[in-house]
Amino acid sequence: MSAIAVHIDPARIIDEVDPRIYSGFTEHMGRCIYGGLYDPGNAHGLADSTTGFRLDVLDALKELRMPLVRYPGGNFVSSYRWQDGIGPRELRPRRPELAWLTEESNQFGTDEFISWCRTLGTEPFICLNMGTGTLEDALAWVEYCNSSSNTHYANLRRKYGHDEPYDVKYWALGNEMWGPWQVGQMQAKDYAKKAFQWAKALRLLDPSIKLIGCGETGYSDWDRVTLKKLAPVVDFHSIHRKVPSYRAIAAAAEKGLEITRSLIDLAKIEHDLSKELTVAFDEWNVWDPVRAPGEKGAEEHYDLSDALAVASWLNVFVRKADIVKIACIAQSVNVISPIITSPTGLFRQTTYFPLHLFSTLMRGKSLSVHVTTPSPETVYNGPTVPAFIRNLDTHTPDSAKLTKFIDVSAVLASAPEQGGSVSGENGNTELRIAILNRSDTHSFDVSLLFGPAVSVRDQVRVHEVWSANLGDANGFGDEKVQTVVRDATFTGAYSVKKHSFQSMCSFIYTRGRG
């Protein structure tokens, strides 16, 4: 079999990778909040005695360096009354919860979430209730969080012990309002009209906030209709996608982003806009709702194939750095999550490790990457999720297919100096490459080819996520799938094992002379 060639030119920069693509999501669902990040009175001393926050969860999430965390939903938000979750806990009402058919104690609410975000070192991102909620409720929530005025909800925040505004910047205009599972489901034109009016009012109260319009998959008519109406008043268009397996998910996400980019351009042309309008991919992950039903807590136990799926998603977000500025893995604790807790501890699922590698290493300037396909064995030709990916690929040249087994992203980043500090303008620069092999059966020799006048050092550091069996998974006391780090000599080609996130390679490069 001929070697696959990966062409990377450090001069061909797409855009800066926005750190917000490594953001998280916490919903009142299953054990995400209660028994997950919030566990007051934990019998084994794992929770802070004052706040009730799980300290081991905070430590694990801090390693992921999440810039934003979305809250409180998700489907939960569409019947959530935020006022129930503030004030003395003993006075907070217990309510029926309609999204996951449980009960909500309201012991964790807005103030606790803001405090948790500050402890974690992340920024809050709040989704508004456009199901049972009213515009008056939404304005009240923004006032409670952000106002410094002598007004009712700002004073209520002060009464409850929080003198200074929280300055929550990111506010989403509802969650998946297109879905039949959503309380308050709407038609696209009805949602667009309502969201437009909400956006106007919210900006009158706080002009500094960033608003996220509710999109769908990026390739639906809902996306077209809502963008056409909301482009003048929102800052981001949201996309949600979860899939039950790792087959061709990157292709679906990538195609959705390409179509959304065109829809955004069309809306900006029609409205004569010069503003920035980008994508918030604020729910993404692997989830099989049959295997892990939402009403039973959606506790997926991931294997190596799911880790490959996460790497595939993140490769897309890095490659599409010019259009994707926010992405939130759904979710961050217990519920379809990279972390699973028990009363006595936690373990990191297989999906944690590629997420950690990307968040740690794949920051900087995203580079254009081209992967050749020298033989049919280098492209996946089976069923895809969704099916339209295979249909589109039928008449696409192999070199442009979205279902290549070797999936790559690359960034140009500042290299750490000795002692761990980041170099300045005169310091080293690293070319960091994420290589994923999605084939179950084939390992590949991959040639790495760089642009003209580029010199690459032969000593590289490799970070590998791999295990002998695609079904290998982690558990308490047995994290079988982890990151293995080693130094290697680069000879111009690299051997990529089957079903592996084979490497996160760091190449130090300098421009050649003359």
The model's pLDDT over 220-273, given as tens digits with 9 standing for 90+, comes to 999 999 999 999 999 999 999 998 877 656 788 999 999 999 999 999 999 999
Cα distance between residue 277 and residue 510, in whole Å: 35
Say what the pLDDT of residue 252 is. Answer: 87
pLDDT at 512 over 70: no
Say what the pLDDT of residue 247 is. Answer: 63
Cα distance between residue 484 and residue 462, in whole Å: 8
Out of 194-198, 424-428, 430-434, the most confident range is 194-198
The model's pLDDT over 329-377, given as tens digits with 9 standing for 90+, comes to 999 999 999 999 999 999 999 999 999 999 999 999 999 999 998 888 8
pLDDT at 190 over 60: yes
Nearest to 227 by CA among 250, 256, 201: 256
pTM to 2 decimals?
Answer: 0.95
Instruction: Compute the half-sphere exposure of residue 148: CA atoms within 13 Å on the CB side of its CA.
Output: 4
If 0-12 CB within 10 Å is exposed, 13-18 middle and 19+ buried, where does residue 416 land? Answer: middle
Output the average pLDDT for the chain.
Answer: 93
Say what the pLDDT of residue 504 is. Answer: 66
pLDDT at 444 over 50: yes
User: What's the pLDDT band for 507 if we cut at 50, 70, 90?
Assistant: confident
Tokens of 450: 């760089």
User: What's the pLDDT band for 513 if we cut at 50, 70, 90?
Assistant: very low
Report the DSSP beta bridge partners of residue 500.
Answer: 437
Order of all β-strands in the sheet with 68-71: 24-25, 68-71, 123-127, 170-172, 210-213, 236-243, 278-286, 324-329
pLDDT at 419 over 90: no
The model's pLDDT over 6-49, given as tens digits with 9 standing for 90+, comes to 999 999 999 999 999 999 999 999 999 999 999 999 999 999 99
Please compute the mean of the pLDDT values over residues 159-177 and round it to a whole number.
98
The model's pLDDT over 58-82, given as tens digits with 9 standing for 90+, comes to 999 999 999 999 999 999 999 999 9
pLDDT at 494 over 90: no
Task: Work out the end-to-end distance of the chain between its first and last CA atoms, rounded to an integer number of angstroms.
Answer: 37
431 touches 472 (CB < 8 A): no
Say what the pLDDT of residue 243 is. Answer: 84
Cα distance between residue 425 and residue 463, in whole Å: 26
Say what the pLDDT of residue 397 is. Answer: 82
Say what the pLDDT of residue 422 is. Answer: 35
If 0-12 CB within 10 Å is exposed, 13-18 middle and 19+ buried, where does residue 305 land? Answer: buried
Say what the pLDDT of residue 251 is. Answer: 85
The model's pLDDT over 387-413, given as tens digits with 9 standing for 90+, comes to 888 888 888 887 788 889 999 999 999
User: What's the pLDDT band for 502 if we cut at 50, 70, 90?
Assistant: confident
Nearest to 32 by CA among 126, 141, 113: 113
Q: Which residues participate in catalysis according to the annotation?
A: 176, 283
pLDDT at 418 over 70: no
Cα distance between residue 360 and residue 506, in whole Å: 12
Please compute the mean of the pLDDT values over residues 158-176 and round it to a whole number.
98
Please compute the mean of the pLDDT values over residues 281-292 and round it to a whole number.
93
Say what the pLDDT of residue 454 is. Answer: 82
Percentage of the chain surpassing pLDDT 70?
Answer: 95
165 or 451, greater pLDDT:
165
